[in-house]
Amino acid sequence: MSQMDERIRSYVLFFKALSNSTRIAIIDLLRRGGDKTVSEIARELGFEQSRVSHALRCLTFCGFLTNRREGKNKIYSLNRETIEPLMEIADKHIEAYANHLRRCEVLRR
Amino acid sequence: MSQMDERIRSYVLFFKALSNSTRIAIIDLLRRGGDKTVSEIARELGFEQSRVSHALRCLTFCGFLTNRREGKNKIYSLNRETIEPLMEIADKHIEAYANHLRRCEVLRR
DNA sequence: TTATCATATGACGAATATGTCACAGATGGA
DNA sequence: TCCATCTGTGACATATTCGTCATATGATAA
């Protein structure tokens, strides 16, 4: 990764941010259910709070989420400008190729 | 990965296919330069042929590329229906957040 | 057939990413 | 202040992914 064309490097980071189940589950949850606090996300997804915090940190840093504090809570929101059209394309592609994606050996089990 | 909601699993696979430098470099190359054979791709990117073949296999299987044989060669083409709008969104996001992406510690070096 | 070029595949070590644990920091109420 | 609640962070073992090597397969021509 160190010695890689800058454009390619950016693409890799962009897609890598979205290619983890914790992170994409959070995006999917917020896309469907709107803004949520950390503990709401953790509870609704059944994930440990620290796992969620790590994921939120990455997604926020990379520009996919924003947050605002409200008392003891922190509320996370989607950057819908990127996420909405992106997920629509993903949905459409998956509709056509889900079986193939699932059976791809390179992207293991 | 095994015990994961099917929708989330599909998203992960979709984005994982694009989150590797070999695979996204190939997509970027074909996007800019049009259809190419395996050895052209290998030469132009400076990658080993087997490395390219592994990547092509994954991308083709997952519906991002198609191929046709022409004599001894195999020519790979983009599925532009998915790739073009997807990369436009990525480009736009990267234009705004490239610095953040680069400095994200979670997505290491 | 054999030779040669082009591409594909399997296996494995090395590199990388992930989740968990333990703990730290922040906030607000009593 | 102290306490309870909510969120963030660092480190590490585990799990996953990648690229390379060796080799196999496919295609063409002589």
pLDDT in tens, B41-87: 999 999 999 999 999 999 999 999 999 999 999 999 999 999 999 99
Token pair in block for residue A20: 């983890």
- CATH code for A6-79? 1.10.10.10
Q: Residue A47 in contact with residue B27, Cβ under 8 Å?
A: no
Of B2 and B73, the structure prediction assigns the larger pLDDT to B73
Q: What DSSP assignment string belongs to B76-109?
A: EEE-HHHHHHHHHHHHHHHHHHHHHHHH-SSS--
Protein CA B97 to sugar C1' D21 (Å): 39
Length reported for chain B = 109
Tokens 């947050």 belong to residue: A67
pLDDT in tens, A41-68: 999 999 999 999 999 999 999 999 999 9
Q: From chain B, pick out residues whose CB is under 8 angstroms from the CB of A65.
A: none
Cα–Cα distance between A88 and A80 in angstroms, integer?
Answer: 11
Of B42, B30, B94, residue with least CA distance to B73: B42
User: What pLDDT band is residue B107 in, cutting at 50, 70 and 90?
Assistant: confident
Q: What is the ipTM score, two decimals?
A: 0.94
Nucleotides of C under 7 A from a protein CB: 5-11, 16-23, 26-28
Domain boundaries, chain B: 6-79
